[in-house]
Amino acid sequence: MLVVTTVDKGREAVRDAQRLGRIVGLVPTMGALHEGHLSLVREARRRCQYVALTIFVNPAQFAGGEDYAVYPRPLEADLAACRTAGVDLVFAPEVGTMYGPDAKTTVRVASLTEVLCGPRRPGHFEGVTTVVTKLFNILPADLAFFGEKDYQQLTVIRRMVADLNLPIEVVGCPTVREPDGLAMSSRNSYLSAAHRRQASCLSRALFAARDAAAAGQRDVQKLVSAVRKTILDAGPADVEYVEIVDAATLQALAVIDRPARICLAVRIGPTRLIDNVAVDAGRAGD
């Protein structure tokens, strides 16, 4: 496994692989790797002959007062996990490599970033789209793999790639969950034991709403109320939002009459957690 920190070496490694006829898969991460990340690596390994993974805690996607300074950075453990998983290239740049002192260019996707997490994390998605565009240019892979747990991010990146005619295919991969249903996240490490037990209410609430929709409940307000009740019955929590949105546009729905996502963001203790599930609109009554 090759580990590089410079733009030129990363780009050269990807282009060398492509010159040999290999399909290159890219897995962008902020490190603190867990099974969710490794599932992306496995899918990349299945579909590609060369797998590149990035480890970069991107300061531009953290809003003021968020956890950039304390975000976990276990680089040696991450590299060991990458070797075991069969990663060919790890690109782990410093902040100064990714952002020059006079950088003035950003990438913004309108509309999709103005709902759900967007208003609650000012500048977050602009930071995401800017750094992902840079990574796609530095490591010009054929496919890029992202988890559906960050469904809004996945949708935004797909839109950006389409709008900018970027020559890369974005592949969404299913959310990986703990045995009790909690979506895997690097931020789960912030949860105390009591908060960790409480956090299982999020997936329980989402799965119950999904099943109710599949059984024919189309009324969004009733489904959202049920999700909120399940979460708040489990213990003190700050429910930032629970929304059911059009799966393509992320616009809020009043009635489930098309492919949709039930999305939520909840703070349990000091930890902000997000999750979502797809709604089978085809089975939600007719």
Told to judge if 34 belongs to the known catalytic residues of this protein, a careful annotator would answer no
Q: Can you give the three-state secondary structure of the chain, one letter per residue?
A: CEEECCHHHHHHHHHHHHHCCCCEEEEEECCCCCHHHHHHHHHHHHHCCEEEEEECCCHHHCCCCCCCCCCCCCHHHHHHHHHHHCCCEEECCCHHHHCCCCCCCCCCCCCCCCCCCHHHCCCHHHHHHHHHHHHHHHCCCCEEEEEHHHHHHHHHHHHHHHHCCCCCEEEEECCCECCCCCECCHHHHHCCHHHHHHHHHHHHHHHHHHHHHHCCCCEHHHHHHHHHHHHHHCCCCEEEEEEEEECCCCCECCECCCCEEEEEEEEECCEEEEEEEEECHHHCCC
Of the residues 34, 37, 124, 195, only one is catalytic, namely 37
Enzyme catalytic residues = 37
